[in-house]
């Protein structure tokens, strides 16, 4: 049952336990709406089922860093007319459009099994991940969408037998993984990349300190010369005639 439009000044809220349908990729959809529309945080939160504070954090760049936004219009989850109406009226609640996109099911522990009907979609998913998340390793890609490293390599170097027909598509919309799994893999990859960059910078700083110390040591006079330096007259030892 669609939610009614509230009067101006009324907060837009969704009750807990509501059966209102939500986008396939709520966080990625929220990223796109924040970046490409003038919808309020309340409207985006109502459409994606997220909290307003989380939407604000996305706008501030505090969360969802590295997540590629997903256009809900192109995947049929929102109409342009609905979006235009919501942007013109801050109190209008954006309603989810019915779509035939398959919802990914939560997988059990163990090796990932990809149905035969979806295996042909894996090269498209690999191409999308390589394009939008190059920080992901082959091992992560393999676990994420249930493919093999030789297949990933063939897509990377375009030696795949069907390379001319590969079109990058989001693995979540293809039903090969969930948004939570993709986000977790991206966060891990970004953390690994950040740690590697910090370790490299520490090594550079260490080498610079060593080079500076070596230069200072080379510029300092040898110890033998320092000992042989002439003694000032007022510090000269008394001669024998003085006694």
Residue 74 domain flag: yes
**Residue 24 belongs to some domain of the structure:** yes
Mean pLDDT of 139-162: 89
Q: How many domains does the chain have?
A: 2
User: Is 3 within 8 Å of 19 (Cβ atoms)?
Assistant: no
pLDDT score, position 123: 92
Confidence of residue 8 (pLDDT cuts 50, 70, 90): very low
* Longest pairwise C-alpha distance within the chain: 119
Q: Is 0.85 topped by the overall pTM?
A: no
State residue 78's pLDDT score.
86
Exposure string (b/e) for 97-136, b if CB count within 10 Å is 16 or more? eebeeeebeeeeeeeeebeeebeebbbbbbbbbbebbebb
Residues 50 and 129 in one domain: no
CA triple 198-183-14, angle to 5 deg: 130
Which of residues 101, 131, 162 is at a domain's end? 101
Contacts for 59-66: CB closer than 8 Å, 24+ residues apart: 59/34, 64/27, 64/28, 64/30, 64/31, 64/183, 65/190, 66/133, 66/135, 66/186, 66/187, 66/190
Q: What six digits make up the tokens of 56?
A: 């604000």
Residues 170 and 132 in one domain: yes
Residue 226 predicted with pLDDT over 60: no
Tokens of 192: 């690994």
- Cα dist from 178 to 77, 126, 164, 207, whole Å: 17, 15, 27, 44
17 band by pLDDT with thresholds 50, 70 and 90: very low
Average pLDDT, the chain: 77
CB 123 within 8 A of CB 162: yes
At 125 the pLDDT is: 92
C-alpha to C-alpha distances, 179 to 30, 171, 174, 198, 216, nearest whole angstrom: 12, 9, 11, 28, 55
Return the pLDDT at 211: 87
Q: What is the mean pLDDT of residues 9-29?
A: 58
Instruction: Judge whether 58 lies within some domain.
Output: yes
State which H helix or E strand residue 180 sits in.
Answer: helix 179-219
3-class DSSP state for residue 213?
A: helix
> Is the pLDDT at 187 greater than 60, yes or no?
yes
Residue 3 shares a structural domain with residue 78: yes
Q: Which of 148, 172, 188 is a domain's end point? A: 188
- Residue that the structure tokens 């939560």 belong to: 106
* pLDDT reported for residue 128: 92
Domain of residue 126: give its range: 116-188
The better pLDDT of the pair 95, 236 is held by: 95
pLDDT tier for residue 18 given thresholds of 50, 70 and 90 = very low
Same-domain status, 39 and 130: no
What is the predicted pLDDT for the residue at 130? Answer: 92
Spatial contact of 124 and 166, defined as CB atoms under 8 Å apart: yes
Using the predicted structure, report yes or no on whether residue 161 has a pLDDT greater than 60: yes
Mind listing the pLDDT tens digit for each residue in 188-199?
A: 888 888 888 888
* Token reading at 167: 């079109």
The answer on pLDDT for 14 being more than 70 is no
pLDDT tens digit string along 63-113?
A: 777 778 888 888 788 888 888 888 888 888 888 876 555 555 555 454 455
């Amino acid at each position: 049952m669609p939610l009614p439009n509230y009067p101006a000044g009324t907060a837009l809220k969704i009750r807990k336990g509501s059966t209102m349908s939500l986008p396939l990729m709520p966080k990625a959809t929220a990223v796109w709406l924040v970046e490409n529309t003038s919808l309020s945080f309340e409207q985006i939160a109502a459409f994606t089922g997220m909290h307003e504070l989380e939407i604000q954090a996305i706008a501030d760049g505090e969360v969802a860093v590295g997540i590629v936004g997903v256009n809900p219009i192109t995947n049929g989850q929102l109409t342009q007319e609905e979006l235009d109406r919501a942007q013109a009226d801050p109190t209008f609640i954006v309603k989810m459009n019915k779509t035939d996109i398959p919802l990914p099911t939560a997988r059990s522990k163990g090796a990932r099994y990809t149905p035969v009907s979806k295996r042909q979609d894996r090269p498209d998913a690999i191409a999308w991940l390589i394009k939008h998340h190059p920080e992901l390793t082959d091992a992560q890609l393999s676990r994420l969408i249930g493919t093999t490293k030789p297949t990933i390599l063939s897509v990377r170097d375009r030696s795949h037998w069907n390379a001319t027909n590969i079109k990058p598509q989001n693995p979540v919309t293809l039903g090969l993984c969930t948004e939570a799994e993709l986000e977790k893999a991206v966060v891990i990859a970004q953390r690994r990349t950040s740690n590697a960059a910090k370790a490299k910078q520490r090594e550079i700083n260490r080498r610079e300190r060593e080079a500076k110390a070596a230069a200072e040591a080379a510029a300092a006079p040898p110890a033998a010369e320092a000992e042989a330096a002439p003694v000032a007259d007022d510090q000269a030892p008394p001669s024998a005639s003085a006694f």
